[in-house]
Structure 1
């Protein structure tokens, strides 16, 4: 039984990535990327270095928009990317702000749903490591061959370096979509929430109605992808908003 062209390409890529590249080669390639190459070239170098096969970089704050908007750069097959974008949105929605903070630079291994068709010799597990660039949170997700064991230390190093090269790219850097920026009034409400004030107390302090305060707080939680006031406070502290 023959194999498809896609399977052949993936198999060849997996064998190549299994050999890896030296630290010196990685530093040289990243130096070139910083000067003139695209984000994909840098991610490809990191992927090869750690012994994985393919990369996907997702930005979590953009996942609120749904669809494929959260995918920044990837060389995964499109069908898998399309399915995974929904999974990313779901995982992000279920994770508390504290869990997000504790999970930074901590590689975790997840499993693809059974109904996703993967090329031969590619593990159904994939690795995800989160990191921050400014106030934006990203996840680097790696597919790897079945016979490769990824180094936890190497994965953390790769996530740090991915943050470095992502910060150099204008399209990924610290672009904040206006829709998700907090207004001065919302920041005021967030500050007083962090001080332990209730909606009624904040309304008295700011001289506006309690309903208006609640509307501001609801807007803050929508923009920060948090579900409770405590999560919104944790988000504010992590991002130096209060």
Structure 2
């Protein structure tokens, strides 16, 4: 049998931690190995417990979730840990910074339990997860900050179709929605996504979204 995905929960609200633990531990393929209420403790626990995924809040005492994510999964970290940021919708101004810090996904706390579980499993496999509503909110409110005016597109390596797929990813569409929009199969969409990541030397879908914002591919 495959070992359960090891999950560390970091949130400064005890009730949230308890709720997440109850939901996650009820799954045969998931296991909560620890919990804490601040980012500094999360970094220390991750070093001891070696979780597969850290479910991370943003606003916390001692060390916030963005700084903790940077220490766990940021550029240059020798043994990065996958981080799934889960926070309230009114913190959407932190989405971009959390993803830049190295988070593999971002969900809202009011998401149904099934979406949380799907998010943990998705991130654990090495894939990225970005809730479409979060992506659209990011585009609508923060495009100017994310895409400095002096930056110019660096997309010459992509074909017109790959650029089209990248724009749809950045607009918050799932692979299935992209397939419908372009009248192609989901397998073809996956192939395009893989090519885009390879050509642009990006880690995952989340980095592709950030690339698109920073290079002016999303209006």
Higher CA-based Rg: 1
TM-score normalised to the size of structure 1?
A: 0.28
